[in-house]
Amino acid sequence: MLERKPLFPHVIELNHAAGRRIGCSVYLVFDGPDWLLIDIGYDESVDEIIELIRQLDFRLQGCQTLIATHADADHIQGMARAKSILKAPITGHPAAAEPLAKGDRILTFAEIAAQGIHLEMPPFKLDSLVNDGDVIELGSLKIEVWHTPGHTDSQLSFRLGNLLFSGDNIYRDGCVGAIDAHHGSDIGDFLSSLRRIRESDVEWLLPSHGPVFRKDDAVLDSTIARLEGYRNMADFGTCATGWPLMEEWDRELAQQKMPC
């Protein structure tokens, strides 16, 4: 048996429980015998995660749902396997339903051919669709659903009291989840999601990668300012909304301006 070491009342994180990094953050939220998981990670770590849950003295039948924060393989590749073991319904955002049902390897980042990344993406059905403002009840706990698109269109966050399970919106070092046109990133939406987190009175952010950290408005402000810049940077390809250099060039071409 493993001693339960909740990070906060009702919240255990399974990399933390293992004392080593297994993969993405996997949060186990519990109230009495009832529990749920937020993300599961890669297929190859499902057995280890479930064994940890057993060792923490949770009955597997107590699993009320498996939540997909969004449709990226590093968070949900193991969902189909986890469901086959835990027999619990899977919850996620409607925008994630189709790519997950199809096991879409491009949208889920399972296939990045140019980098030699070719992962399996076992398809699964979302049994329960949730959207902004919905409340997931777990025992006496009420978990508020936030739709926080930007990294992907299906990105969810979950508020439990002063905690926000914040997905891939922001990490402790101020980095954010990858901005990539191939899986529905939108810089404007990302900024709205980050501003919503910034303006909220949550005190702790529980991200989908890396350590849990206290919400720090200065870090959020600097990340928001950085992403504001991305709107007009060619670095972000079709995710950028403009590229001021092209307007300058239009003027210079019309003026027949010579290099200077």
d(CA 5, CA 17): 7
Residue 36, beta-bridge partner list: 29, 65
d(CA 166, CA 204): 9
CB of residue 37 vs Zn ion: minimum separation in angstroms?
A: 17
By CB under 5 A, tell whether 153 contacts Zn ion: no
Instruction: Identify the H or E element spanning 130.
Output: none
Best CA proximity match to 219, nearest among 240, 188, 194: 194
Of 132 and 180, CB closest to Zn ion: 180
> Count residues contacting Zn ion (CB under 5 A)?
3
- And the tokens for 223? 């990340």
Residue 221, judged by CB atoms within 10 A of its CB (0-12, 13-18, 19+), counts as: middle
CB of residue 69 vs Zn ion: minimum separation in angstroms?
A: 8
Site for Zn ion in 198-227 (CB under 5 A): none
Of 23 and 177, CB closest to Zn ion: 177
Of 72 and 189, CB closest to Zn ion: 72
Best CA proximity match to 184, nearest among 121, 239, 146, 230: 239
CB of residue 151 vs Zn ion: minimum separation in angstroms?
A: 6
Cα–Cα–Cα angle for 206, 158, 144, rounded to 5 degrees: 145
Of 149 and 177, CB closest to Zn ion: 177
CB of residue 67 vs Zn ion: minimum separation in angstroms?
A: 14
Of 28 and 107, CB closest to Zn ion: 107
Which residue number has the CB closest to Zn ion? 72
Alpha carbon separation from 6 to 10, 11, 13, 131 (Å, rounded): 7, 5, 7, 27
Using CB under 5 A, which of the segments 80-88, 91-99, 139-147, 161-169 binds Zn ion?
Answer: 161-169
Of 10 and 151, CB closest to Zn ion: 151
CB of residue 217 vs Zn ion: minimum separation in angstroms?
A: 24
Best CA proximity match to 163, nearest among 125, 215, 121: 215
Of 64 and 166, CB closest to Zn ion: 166
Binding mask 50-89 for Zn ion (x = CB under 5 A): ----------------------x-----------------
Site for Zn ion in 167-196 (CB under 5 A): 168, 177
CB of residue 177 vs Zn ion: minimum separation in angstroms?
A: 5
Using CB under 5 A, which of the segments 20-28, 76-84, 141-149, 160-168 binds Zn ion?
Answer: 160-168
Best CA proximity match to 45, nearest among 76, 70, 4, 17: 76
Alpha carbon separation from 236 to 92, 110, 224 (Å, rounded): 27, 21, 15
Q: State the residues that interact with Zn ion by CB under 5 A.
A: 72, 168, 177
